[in-house]
Amino acid sequence: MAQTALKLKGSPPVSDWKKWLGVAPFFLFAILFLVLPSLRLIMGSFTNDEGQFTFANLLQLFQEQFILDAYWLSIRISAATAIGGGVFGFLLAYSVTVGGLPKPLRSALITFSGVASNFAGVPLAFSFIATLGRTGFVTALIKNIFGINLYQQTEFDLYSFWGLSLTYMYFQFPLMVLIMAPALDGLKREWREAAENLGASTTQYWLRVALPVLLPSILGSMILLFGNAFGAYATAYALTGGRLGIITIQIGAQIRGDVLHNPGLGYAMAMGMVIIMAVSLMGYSWLQKRSERWLR
Amino acid sequence: MNIFSRIRRIPFWSWVWFILGALYFLLPLYATANFSLRMERDVIGFKAYVRAFEDPDFLKTFMYSNMLAFMTILASIILIVPTAYWIRLRLPEARRVVEFITLLPFVVPAIILVFGLIRIYSSPIKIPFTNTTLLQPLTTFEIGTDILIVAGYVVLGLPYMYRSVDTGMRTVDVRTLTEAAQSLGASWFTIIVKVILPNIRAALLSGALLTFAIVVGEVTLASFLGVPAFGPYLFLLGQHRAYEPAALSFASFLLTWLAMGLIQLFTGGQGQASGAH
Amino acid sequence: MTHLSLKNVSKHFGDFTAVNDFNLDVNKGEFVSFLGPSGCGKTTTLRMIAGFEIPSTGQITINGADITNKAPSQRNVGMVFQSYALFPNMTVAQNIGFGLRIRKEKEADVVDRVKEMLAIINLEKKADSYPYQLSGGQMQRVALARALAIRPEVLLLDEPLSALDAKIRIALRAEIRSIQQKLGITAIYVTHDQEEALSLSDRIVVMREGEMDQVGTPFQIYNFPTTVFVANFVGTLNNASAEVVDPAKGLIAIDGVQFESAVDLMERKKGDKVRVAIRPERFNFVSQEKKANIVDCRIENITFLGSIVRIQVMIGNSKFYMDTFNNPFLELPKIGDKDQVTCSREAVLVLDE
């Protein structure tokens, strides 16, 4: 494809390498504030106390129990909220698109989802404390209606795995809705009609056509949700005050003061996170491409 | 019409999911609002709100965060608009690299970013293998820290801002607009300021509002870099007080709603998500 | 024996009547087109046969069995959609076999039937391709095969060719017709393209604003339209207002210029206003032949269309088109010339105004 040579009056044609000057500020910024910090972490994880190259830090990642526990906890919470958020978010998106609810409800849900997905962090944590904390609204409601005292008679605790997961759902559901609503719109009405015409029931249509077509989108979104939860810090910290030892909180502790007495290990922990996020992103990209091909 | 087609009309399960979702989303909001109105015993009133807004620290940190948001938006626009424009016009080859870079913030969440930023910029920047110092640690200057956090926020907002601007430029076909303006004799500056910027206004506003929503409530970068922002203030407040944090949380929800509502107004329909913090 | 029958079928959407009192008996193996402009109700009627709309009134039967309220999945009619609607997650072979597998046929039988259909549509090589790898014409053939694979009672086609290029359209429509005739399957074909309807159908139903204007063979519809709308919609047509001069002799006058028509005018009185329609190709120059009607005219314009030369003439105050075959050796009159043209009595159609 020939490129139109756009020139200012009187200026000579722009040579090849000079063209790249136009994006130089952007690259400079990216290098200074994105690439360099990341590189610092990567290099730091391969450095020991004396400044020499070593794999010891990385090895220690797999040896220290509490680090493995932290990763595992983060992975479990992220997976739980990815799956739970994915399934219920899909059902919500389904209800206002193919599911046939009135149009105003769809607008309301989409707008609210845009708000809720940005409502993470400290305010979200406080809201959930006001709802399901020891003196929370719903806690009291459950006591009054069902006579069950959540904190004494059940194992429920807001400041735990399930409590944090429940809180995370507040931005996971909306994220799923915002991604899946357009994808569900992409399901052509004629596919359902063609399937019906050929004798399929609604269930058969969903099992054989609709869900397979949507699957790359659904899986990709769940991976996105996973990464979203995995990297979250503020909400968890505001809710549990650092008591729940997910990996981001451990790294936070490491940043504040070198609690590990081994800077290299801290960097290695961070790098471990980056690798997990990078793998998620690659999975998401690959699934994105697949779904685009089908939902043309 | 037979009875089966009539039953098909009522989407029972759709209503079930929707109502469950509504309950889940609205209960916490109600609980927070309810709690925030009960500062005075047995009275429903705005005392918590009054107290919260009267606190001098509130005003100080809120204004500071607003200023940060404004600087972030400005810096983002100055950085991204010319870049996106240049790529569309002259350098399509750079597109893949730039888009890859805008995906990196997904891989480097706030906590990791701040970790790296602090480690690099809290020590002097030297020319490698020499003793010559280029720059004292940014973190020793107050303005240095401000620069750092704004840069951090620009990075965090990069994916959304870039995508917003790029889509806006594609929609109005900046290439053709530029060629038309050039054939009429306009200079580069005129083109960018008078032709391009006005036409991507909606995209810029949408990106700006999203950035605003992210920055004002942000906690991770702010607390680790030690800046007097609203996020850390709110967190601290929560340690000592009960009603005021609830009031501010609910108010911040309303503020986010306002920002998102404005985005809907300008873009007409697609929601925008920025994910977890 | 009538295979497919629609009796007094109507469809209302609130205040809006999409289809009004549709009546049709289709014989086995017949190819019937529903022809009309957008919004005339042809697609709605088709969808009622398919079961995607339920008639507000009336009855639809196949082989005598009432299917009016049956679910679409229970009717055993095969539908070809305008947008092909191939399942994107399945290969060509899987798409074609979809209906058979739903019916729980034996896998071996399904494979055989799919092979058979692939041979009929000439796409054996593409059996394992996905829809996104196919061209528009190929996708349409797969859609056709998928609908036929289930051995439907009736084949329904909803403007299947309108999304394709002109050349492919012409080739594909011939293929559709030949497959339909070979299999002897009853077919209902919805289109807004009159050339398609004329070339494919055993019978055409011309529809307008929910009503059936005329039902007949292509020959009948073209040569003997019963309403102005049909006459205008199908083929090019000259039409003009006229007055009845003498009902007994079949004389009418367009702006005072008299024409004799073969149409029975006995129901009309002298002075009645009517609409006269004459096909352009029924006119000829007096120098070439002489028919019953000879009228003076003035040459307004001459357009060379390739195999046809279209001449615009003024007869009285009315503009008429005359089509004559291109003949390199025929000397054409010049613009502005006064000349005489002729047409037969049968060519002069008299319709209600």
pLDDT tens digits for range B93-138: 888 888 888 888 888 899 999 998 888 887 766 655 555 556 666 6
Q: Rounded to the nearest 10 degrees, how much is the dihedral formed by the CA atoms of C285, C288, C290, C294? A: 10
B2 touching chain C per CB within 8 A: yes
The pLDDT, as a whole number, for residue B182 is 85
User: What is the CATH number that goes with domain B46-267?
Assistant: 1.10.3720.10
What is the H or E stretch that residue B126 is in? Answer: strand B125-126
Instruction: State how far residue B77 is from chain A, nearest Cα, in angstroms.
Output: 11
How far apart CA C343 and CA C260 sit, in angstroms, is: 10
| CATH code for the domain of C146 | 3.40.50.300
Residues 31-50 of chain A whose Cβ lies under 8 A from any Cβ of chain B: 32-34, 36-38, 40-41, 44
Partners of C2 in beta bridges: C27
Helix (H) or strand (E) holding A30: helix A24-30
8 Å CB contact between A64 and A272? no
Q: Which residues of A touch C71 (CB under 8 A)?
A: 196
Tell me the domain boundaries of chain A: 66-294
Q: Identify all chain A residues contacting B98, using CB atoms and an 8 Å cutoff.
A: 23, 26
CA distances from A78 to A167, A169, A267, B24, B31 (A): 12, 10, 22, 19, 26
Rounded to 5 degrees, φ, ψ at C16 are -90, 130
The backbone torsions φ and ψ at residue C158, rounded to the nearest 5 degrees and listed phi first, read -105, 95
Contact A34 B15 (CB under 8 A): no
A114 vs B20, B34, B273: nearest CB? B273
Distance CA C284, CA C293 (A): 11
A205 alpha-carbon distance from chain centroid: 30
From CA B274, how far away is CA B257, in angstroms rounded?
Answer: 14
Residue C305: predicted pLDDT: 86
Bridge partners (DSSP) of residue A12 are: none
pLDDT value at position A119?
Answer: 81
Looking at the fold, whether C209 and C274 belong to one and the same domain comes out as: no
> Closest partner residue to A26 among B30, B98, B261, by Cβ?
B98
Q: Assess contact for A128 and A158: CB atoms under 8 A.
A: yes
Which region holds residue C74: left if phi is over 0, alpha if psi is between -120 and 50, else beta? alpha
Q: Is the pTM of this model over 0.90?
A: no
Instruction: Test C89 with A198 for CB contact under 8 angstroms.
Output: no
Task: Check whether residue C240 and residue C228 sit in a common domain.
Answer: no
8 Å CB contact between A92 and B21: yes
Q: Which CATH topology does A66-294 take?
A: MetI-like fold (1.10.3720)
Orientation angle between helical segments C136-149 and C166-183, nearest 10 degrees: 20
Is C151 in the same domain as C170?
A: yes
Q: Say what the pLDDT of residue B3 is.
A: 45
Print the domain residue range for C90: 2-232
Of C183, C208, C232, the residue that ends a domain is: C232
CA–CA separation, A10 vs A216, rounded Å?
52
Instruction: Provide the 3-class DSSP secondary structure of residue B230.
Output: helix
Residue C109's pLDDT is 94
Domain count, chain C: 2
Query: Could you say which of B11, B25, B277 has the minimum Cβ distance to residue A232?
Result: B277
Q: List, as one string, the DSSP characters of C14-28.
A: TTEEEEEEEEEEEET
Q: Domain with C287 in it: what CATH number?
A: 2.40.50.140
Predicted confidence at residue A10, as pLDDT, reads 47
For chain C, say whether A234 makes contact (Cβ under 8 Å).
no
pLDDT of residue B1: 38
**Which regions in chain A score pLDDT beneath 70?**
1-15, 294-296
For residues C132 and C252, membership in a common domain is answered with no
Count Cβ–Cβ pairs < 8 Å, chain A vs chain B.
Answer: 282
pLDDT in tens, A78-123: 999 999 999 999 999 999 998 888 888 998 898 888 888 878 888 9
Long-range CB contacts for residues C10-15, cutoff 8 Å, separation at least 24: C10/C55, C10/C56, C10/C57, C10/C58, C11/C41, C11/C44, C11/C45, C11/C48, C11/C53, C11/C55, C11/C56, C12/C56
Do C213 and C64 sit in the same domain of this protein?
yes
| pLDDT, tens only, B4-31 | 444 456 788 899 999 999 999 999 999 9
Is B6 in the C-facing interface, judged by CB distances under 8 Å?
no
Chains touching A (3+ CB pairs < 8 Å)? B, C
pLDDT of residue B130: 56
What confidence tens digit (pLDDT) does each residue in A55-77 have? 888 888 888 888 889 999 999 99
Specify the pLDDT at position C148. Answer: 94
Q: Is the domain of C190 the same as that of C77? A: yes
**Which two structure tokens, joined as six digits, stand for B128?**
């490698």
Of the candidates C97, C113, C77, the one whose C-alpha atom is nearest the C-alpha of residue C185 is C77
Pick out chain C residues at pLDDT < 50. none
Interface membership of A174 toward B (CB under 8 Å):
yes
Q: Is B165 helix (H, G, I), strand (E, B) or coil?
A: helix
> What pLDDT was estimated at residue A5?
46
Q: Tell me how far apart the alpha carbons of residues A287 and A136 are, in angstroms, rounded to a whole number.
A: 41
By Cβ distance, the residue of C52, C98, C146 closest to A193 is C52
Determine the number of helices (DSSP H) and then strands (DSSP E) in chain A. Answer: 16, 0
Q: Measuring CA to CA, how many Å separate B120 from each of A140, A269, B114?
A: 49, 17, 10
Mean pLDDT of chain B: 83
CB contact under 8 A, C98 and A198: yes
Cβ distance C71 to B4 less than 8 Å, yes or no, reads yes
Residues 6+ apart with CB under 8 A from B244: B39, B48, B51, B52, B55, B237
Rounded CA separation B210/B277 (Å): 14
- Say how far residue C5 (Cα) sits from the centre of its chain: 19
